Amino acid sequence: MPVGMTLTKFLHEEQRRHPDSSGNFTSLFSDLVTAAKIISREVRKAGLGGIIGAAGTKNVHGEEVQKLDELANEMFVRTMEHGGHLAAMASEEMDDIIHVDGRYPKGKYVLLFDPLDGSSNIDVNISVGTIFSILRVADGGNVTAKDFLKPGMEQVCAGYILYGSSTMLVYTTGHGVHGFTLDPSVGEFFLSHMDIKIPSSGKIFSINEGNSRHWLPGTVQYIDKIKSNGREMTARYVGSLVADFHRNLLKGGIFLYPADRKSTRGKLRLLYEANPLAFIVEQAGGAASTGEGRIMEVVPGELHQRTPLIIGSRADVEEAVSFLNAPVA
Ligand code: P6P
């Protein structure tokens, strides 16, 4: 029985498919994998290390910062900044972009990430995740926030790490979606889900029904429709975007965090949550919409811009959008 395909080997095989490749991207991604392994180690023992619970500070959005949020953010920055492949980074936890220290060479990529999404679940041992997106920049030496404000179509790579019953890394570079599972005894990610495709429709819907009093009429009508007789839908909502997305990616279904009267622009972040997951789901045959248009066509106006997100199986997203766009009766 041959040893499974490691992520390291897979990346090098992918690189060989691009003979003109400099190897910079492969090296950048390898640094990202190292950060993922470190965060996984810390998440797995969070209850023991005295690092659960709030850090006593708030992030740019006024949200309680959990200690593991800070640690994950620091792990990413420290692991990624000296590789010489990045010009700058942007994190959900940091107000402004993070320029790579002048001591280190600058590369031609910028990394956007949510270091530990789902932080409210950290203390109760429910799955959390890291989400990342990589863009190319023309001149690594003069990067500004404007270099990050690109539509999702310009991503060169997107992925997530899910710290669930196992730690999985799922990513795309535009050549399909591939999933790798970490074997902690070896310290390697092994290919476990080659060329993931989302079912064209599903039986799962994910939405926080606690917000239903704020929903706009189109959302009310859509949810009523899929809960009506004749539809065998089931509700699943973890409250961790990566966990909810990953389950629906594999089983089919739809996740909705729509605009409502409370979150008029939606709650989730465009650049480092919606865009990377939209790239993945479209590569897997699914769809991702704001409710009015394709997520990956939105031209960002600001780094931490929020967006409505309707994402999952293509037929389900199209049906939901038809309701959300319906003229108000
Ligand atoms: P709500 C977690 O805080 C998060 O950013 C996503 O991971 C998740 O999908 C969403 O917020 C949950 O939000 O309002 O349902 O608790």
User: What's the pLDDT score for residue 151?
Assistant: 98
Q: What is the dihedral of CA 46, 49, 51, 52, to 10 degrees?
A: 50
Q: What is the DSSP letter of 211?
A: G
Mutation probe of ligand 1 site: the residue of 64, 113, 255, 267 with most atoms within 8 A of C-beta: 267
The closest residue, in CA terms, to atom 1 on ligand 1 is 239
- Bigger pLDDT: 2 vs 7: 7
Lowest mean pLDDT segment, chosen from 9-18, 109-118, 210-219:
9-18
In the block, residue with structure tokens 């990953």: 246
Give the nearest ligand 1 atom to 117 CA: 7
User: What's the pLDDT score for residue 49?
Assistant: 63
Residues 6 or more apart whose CB falls under 8 angstroms from that of 258 comprise 207, 215, 216, 219, 266, 291, 308, 309, 310, 324
Q: What is the DSSP letter of 286?
A: -
User: What's the pLDDT score for residue 328?
Assistant: 63
| Residue 84 CB less than 6 A away from ligand 1 | no
Domains within the chain, CATH numbers bracketed: 7-193 (3.30.540.10), 204-324 (3.40.190.80)
User: What's the pLDDT score for residue 61?
Assistant: 80
Give the pairing of strands 234-235 and 204-206. Answer: parallel
Bridge partners of 6? Answer: 190
Cα–Cα dist 285/56, whole Å: 42
User: What's the pLDDT score for residue 127?
Assistant: 95
Cα–Cα dist 248/204, whole Å: 7
pLDDT at 4 over 90: no
User: Which is nearest to 196 in space by CA: 166, 165, 169?
Assistant: 169
**pLDDT tens digits for range 163-172:** 999 999 999 9
The closest residue, in CA terms, to atom 13 on ligand 1 is 239
pLDDT at 1 over 80: no
User: What's the pLDDT score for residue 98?
Assistant: 93
pLDDT at 269 over 90: yes
| Residue 212 CB less than 6 A away from ligand 1 | no
**Torsion sign (Cα): 213, 219, 221, 227:** negative
**pLDDT tens digits for range 74-99:** 989 999 988 888 999 999 999 999 98
Of all residues in the chain, what percent are helix, strand and coil, respectively (each to 5)? 35, 25, 40
| Residue 57 CB less than 6 A away from ligand 1 | no
Give the DSSP H or E segment for 242: helix 241-251
User: What's the pLDDT score for residue 45?
Assistant: 81
Angle among Cα 37, 196, 286 to the nearest 5 degrees reads: 115
User: What's the pLDDT score for residue 3?
Assistant: 72
| Residue 118 CB less than 6 A away from ligand 1 | yes
Cα–Cα dist 226/313, whole Å: 14
User: Ligand 1 mean position to 320 CA, how many Å?
Assistant: 20
Give the nearest ligand 1 atom to 268 CA: 5
In the block, residue with structure tokens 């495709």: 197
Bridge partners of 179? Answer: 170, 193
Mutation probe of ligand 1 site: the residue of 68, 69, 93, 117 with most atoms within 8 A of C-beta: 117
- DSSP per residue, 246-283: HHHHHH--EEEE---SSSTT-SEEIIIIIHHHHHHHHH
**pLDDT tens digits for range 32-77:** 999 999 999 988 887 676 667 777 777 778 777 768 888 899 989 9
Lowest mean pLDDT segment, chosen from 12-26, 186-200, 235-249, 286-300:
12-26
The dihedral region occupied by 291, where left means phi > 0, alpha psi between -120 and 50, and beta the remainder, is left
What rounded mean pLDDT belongs to the chain? 92
User: What's the pLDDT score for residue 50?
Assistant: 64
Give the nearest ligand 1 atom to 244 CA: 9
Q: Which two tokens stand for residue 232?
A: 């065998």
The whole-number average pLDDT for the span 285-296 is 98
User: Ligand 1 mean position to 253 CA, how many Å?
Assistant: 18
Distances (CA, A) of 124 to 53, 119, 262, 264, 285: 10, 10, 26, 29, 33
pLDDT band per the 50, 70, 90 thresholds, residue 105: confident
The closest residue, in CA terms, to atom 3 on ligand 1 is 118
User: What's the pLDDT score for residue 2?
Assistant: 61
What three-state secondary structure class fits 56? strand
User: Ligand 1 mean position to 31 CA, how many Å?
Assistant: 28
Cα–Cα dist 323/160, whole Å: 30
| Residue 286 CB less than 6 A away from ligand 1 | no
pLDDT band per the 50, 70, 90 thresholds, residue 273: very high
